[in-house]
């Protein structure tokens, strides 16, 4: 609150009051004259959904500049950075979104993809399972082709990459995503993917996961 002290000389009172009112009005306008963070975020998601990821990132960056603690601005920046392959920056943005109170599991889903590619396979699996536990039919509202199937594929891929001791987990996810894959680690006659027979179960499992990734897209 601004306190105005009355000046005893009457002829000075009005000019001083008008000056103070001008200063207050100018300050108010400077704080509200530009776009809001919410407006920039909305524009950012529009660009994102249209496939212009670079423009989306710029808009989310502007939103963060306007309001550094806006969780949705950090969240959008995380997805844009992820799709640009800026993994460490995406990780930081998703973590900032969660720290600043983002609701839902979208940032954790984004982190599952980040950790898969950094790589940090155990953390990727943990994030993916956490999202699926919360929402078994999860899909990303701003790109609905990215959904629960991609997260199960993350679990399968990372389990495979953790080595033979985790092949059963990879196979379990493969069976959920492609029940007709037919692979059996004890039967070499089943080590066939897309008409090609492989010498080892490990090779066949890897090829099946790669074929599944191509089929799912996302």
Pick the CATH number of 104-218 from 1.20.144, 1.25.40, 2.10.260, 3.30.300: 1.25.40
* pLDDT (mean) for 169-178: 98
Average pLDDT, the chain: 88
Which pLDDT tens digit goes with each residue over 39-85? 999 999 999 999 999 999 999 999 999 999 999 999 999 999 999 99
Q: For residues 122-137, give the mean pLDDT.
A: 98
* 3-state SS class at 65: helix
Which residues lie closer than 8 Å to 183 by C-beta, 6 or more apart? 171, 174, 190, 191, 193, 201, 204, 205, 208
Say if 32-103 and 104-218 have the same CATH topology. yes
Which residues, in sequence order, are bridge partners of residue 147? 139
Q: Does domain 32-103 have CATH number 3.40.50.2300?
A: no
For residue 108, give every residue at least 6 positions away whose Cβ sits within 8 Å of its Cβ, in sequence order, or none.
94, 98, 127, 130, 131
| CA–CA distance, 218 with 215 (Å, rounded to integer) | 9
196-197 and 143-147: which strand pairing? unpaired
pLDDT of 7 over the 90 cut: no
Separation of alpha carbons 71 and 73, rounded Å: 5
pLDDT of residue 217: 77
Structural domain boundaries of the chain?
Answer: 32-103, 104-218
pTM attached to this predicted model: 0.84
């Amino acid at each position: 609150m601004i306190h105005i002290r009355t000046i005893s000389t009457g002829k000075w009172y009005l000019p001083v009051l008008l000056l103070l009112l001008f200063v207050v009005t100018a300050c108010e306008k400077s704080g509200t004259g530009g776009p809001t963070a919410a407006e920039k975020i909305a524009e950012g998601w529009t660009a994102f959904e249209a496939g212009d990821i670079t423009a989306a990132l710029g808009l989310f960056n502007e939103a963060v500049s306007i309001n550094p603690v806006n969780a949705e601005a950090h969240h959008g920046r995380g997805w844009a950075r992820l799709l640009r392959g800026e993994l460490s920056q995406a990780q930081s943005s998703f973590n900032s979104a969660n720290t600043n109170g983002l609701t839902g599991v979208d940032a954790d889903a984004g982190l599952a993809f980040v950790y898969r590619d950094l790589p940090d396979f155990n953390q990727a699996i943990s994030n993916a399972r956490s999202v699926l536990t919360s929402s078994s039919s999860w899909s990303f509202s701003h790109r609905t082709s990215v959904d629960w199937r991609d997260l199960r594929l993350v679990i399968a891929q990372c389990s495979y990459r953790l080595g033979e001791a985790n092949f059963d987990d990879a196979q379990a996810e493969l069976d959920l995503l492609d029940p007709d894959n037919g692979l059996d680690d004890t039967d070499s006659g089943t080590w066939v993917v897309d008409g090609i027979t492989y010498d080892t179960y490990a090779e066949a499992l890897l090829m099946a996961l790669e074929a599944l990734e191509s089929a799912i897209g996302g």
